[in-house]
Structure formats: C-alpha cells, structure tokens
Chains A and B, each alone.
Chain A
Amino acid sequence: MMMALLRRLGQTVFVLFGISALVFLVFFATPGADPTARIAGRNASPQTMEKVRQEYGFDRPLPVQYATMMKKLFITQDLASYVDRGELVVPEIARAAPVTVSLVCGAALIWVVLSIAMGTIAAAMKGTWVDRGLMMLGLIGISMPVFWLGQVANLITQSRYHDTWLFSWVPGLGYVPLTENPWGWFKALVIPWIVLAVMFIGIYSRVLRADLVALSGEDFMRTARAKGLSPTRILLRHGLRTSMVTFVSLFGLDFAQLVGGGALLTEVVFGLPGVGRLTYQALTNLDLPLIMATVMYSAVFVVLANAVVDILYLFLDPRVRDAR
C-alpha cells in the first residue's frame, strides 16, 4: 500500500515537472513572447530595456530562469506578472479560486441530484416514453455548447425578459463573495450553475441509466429479485449503490477538471473572475508567470483527483483490488 502511494506520488511529481517544463519551453519558443518591451513600457529607451532584462533575469540561461521561476512560484511565492507590472500571481489565484469553487460546487450539486433522479427513473421505467423522453433531454443537454447556452440565458434574463416578474431578481453579471452577501452570492450564481450543470446532467443520467440497466442482468440482482424484494428497493439499495462506483470516479475527474479551470467558458460568458478566466487571460496575454501558476494549479487538482479516484477504486471495488 505504502509503495503504491509513493509510486503514485513520484508519478505526480513527474507529471507536474513535465507540464511546467513544456509550458516554459513552448513560451520561449513562441515569437513575440519576449516580455521585456511590455514590462519596460512603450517607447522605453534601450537602456531601460536592458535594466528590465537584467532585473527579471531574461539574460540568463533557460534552466536558471526555470529554476528561479519555480522557486518564486512554490517557495517564496512572490512571482509577479509580466503584464500587469507588480501584480503577484499567487494571491491572484487565491482570489480567483473561491469563485470557481463556488461555481463548480453549486453546479455539481445540481447535476448530481438531477442526474441520479433522471437516471434512476429512466432505468426503472425502461422502454417507456418517460425513459425515452428523459434520455432525449439528456442528449440535448450534451449537445449544447455551454457558452452559447450561457449567452442565450443572459439574453433572456438580462435583457429581453429582465423587466418581467420572472427574471427581475437576476442581478447584473459578475460575482458577489459569499462572505459579503450570501443571498447576493446565490442570486449571482444560480443561472451560471444551471448552465454549467446542463451538460453534466445529460452525461451522468445516461451513464447511470446504462449502468443500472446492465446491472439488472447480473447475478446478485437476480438473487435479490428471487428473494422477493420490491423492484424499487432492489433498484435503489442494490443497483444504485453498485453503480455509484462508476459514478463517483467519473464525478471526481470532472469535478477536478472544472475546479482546475475547465469551467472557463462559463466563467467567460458570465463574467465570473474565476481560475478558468484567469488562465485564459494569462494565455492570451502570454503572461508566463500567470500561465505557469494557473496551469500548475489545475494540474495539481487533476492529478490529485486521478490519484484519489484510483485509490478509492482500490478500496471500493474488490475486482480491481484483486487484480493488482
């Protein structure tokens, strides 16, 4: 067990190193990425450029620059942006993270509850029009580009029908911190939550239904039926519990991806200053320190989630445990 954990840790460090080195190299290979002129300001004299180059260490060999950047990012945590001079990137991420976490947690709650309900109902009523209708709804959810859905939601709630009783409560775009105003936080996030959740409701309810349907053919389900348990009880106590293994592992990965910045389209459309939008801004500005920090942040989440899911599997599913 200990060995497995250590190996996992080694792999994680390797992956993080790989990503950071890759980001670093790609950045310096990109033409136009030299940040000196941007830091020095427009029309700065060559001497000022030289001063900036020395101050930021751009004249040093790449491995040294890489090491310095990693030190500033992880140890001293005083890495500053190349674009907004003087802006430290670590606190910037610390401020963006709660926004993304708020967005993703709310959406996750919605999609877990709704997809379990939809998946179970569909499986229970397999082959009926309810089943087909629910699954078609799910499919439509999967098929909508999230940024477009967000735009349409904005159009309806912010503009077209904002003056009607139905949507007059919707606040302007943007984020309200939970600590400042919980009710405002809720109102600002409700629509983004729903928009982000739609696709996942589709995926998860379909996966769950497929699993439940497949399980109904398994021996232990037949045994349960033979014991005379009620169909609802079988479905909920036996079927659903078993299906949760897949469900939870899928959820862990998606959740980590979203918290790590995968929700950027939703954040962009709803003007939420989260990690995804920060990453996107950093990328478009070729702001290496911020790119490095955000990519590391998201990689840590995803890699950790992968590890956690694998370990959970080890505990939850005897088949996997024995196979190792």
Chain B
Amino acid sequence: MAEKRIIDGRGSFCPGPLMELIAVLKMCEIGDELEVLSNDKGSANDIPEWVRKVGHEYVSTREEAGVWHITVRKTK
C-alpha cells in the first residue's frame, strides 16, 4: 500500500532539500507520496522542475507560515 512520507528540509538551502528528496525517492516504493518541507523558496521552484524533468508526478505546492510543502509521487 502506498505510503506518505514527510521530508523535513527546513533550514537547508538549494539543492539540499532536493537531494534529501532524491535520497528518499530511491528507497521508497512506486506510488508513495513524499511531502518536502522547505523554507527555501528556490527549492519550492526547483523541486517541481526536477520532478517534471525526470518523470515523477508533481502533486502540489502550498505555503504555510513561510514553509513550502511540495508533494511528489514516485512513478517509476
């Protein structure tokens, strides 16, 4: 069954949160959803670009109190 995981990249800067996402993506199952937390706006822009480029599914981005929540689904 697909899981949802949170990756807390707060306090880091580009490309730190992206690299943390990729490390977890390598270990999780197809269909799993990963939500990256980041207070770095550059990562909020860059992570969806990366996801589209490599062919995973970009689900959503929302911002709450200066923290971006970027959700991605592993597709391959």
Are chains A and B native binding partners rather than an unrelated pairing? no
A: residues with CB less than 8 A from B are none
B: residues with CB less than 8 A from A are none
